[in-house]
Structure 1
């Protein structure tokens, strides 16, 4: 069983031993954060001996690479302190300046999944097998002059609706209208 009393006692014993070594001067200059990190990773390696881990430690003393492995029934930790020398020998990396203009308008928010289900995709996406003809929405431009036609004016006298079975036909018309609106809710936008 993992995490039992014996494991907790072993962990406390290892921690006490590390503190005793640090107090006696056996590990001079090792910050407590690095010691705790080594202990935590060594515990993981002990549980999973097939793992090999390399960790770079910065911000607590000199930069160091810690190599963890499992050999001869124990966790082996090797500290590589030549990181400082290698980084000093490498040429400086390219520096990039990024300018952000706060006056630029923010791009419109992307539609939620619910909106996309109802109105189609609201951002560029590649076609898929499920949606082979997906195209991003085009911005609304006025029609070109050749395609412009003036709006059709209504007839001067509307024809009244006469039906012998007005109630039944009205109900059927209402059902058709409801079905149209369910299929295409954008009809209400105009």
Structure 2
């Protein structure tokens, strides 16, 4: 385990078979709730594509950033796959399940600017992140936007836990190494983030 600014990075926690099974589960999630391209409140399309599973999905638009109970098409989000919940049980809790599993797909030039996950009601629960597919350069800062940052390469099967004092650190993805993994047939990176919302 690597710790950066209080963020735990568990390298290679999922083996190849577990990664393949989880990727298959996420394909079924995307069939029920297809990936869409979010637009920021300032009208700029994000470079990632997104969907979700669970009680809520995370949305953005003219109304700002918020959780929503339905996909933009109007359908309810599908259940969080058991393969994902098993990782949550191992690292977070066997009693309280996450309300949201956000699924971000990073294509060749996609990135995610520094931000923090602060739209939830209870910050005592950590955010759990799982990486699948191509490696991504993950940047971790502090609780203040101007704090120094450090980077770590997240690879397929890595699990990240942001909890305690690190629950509200700024973080982002500077770039991915497209084609650096054979897990996803068309390349790219999938990042899951599981959160307790209510």
Per the TM superposition, whether the score is higher than 0.5 is no
Report which of the two structures shows the higher radius of gyration computed on alpha carbons.
1
**Structure (1/2) with the larger strand percentage:** 2
TM-score where L is the length of structure 1 = 0.24
**Structure (1/2) with the larger helix percentage:** 1
TM-score where L is the length of structure 2 = 0.23
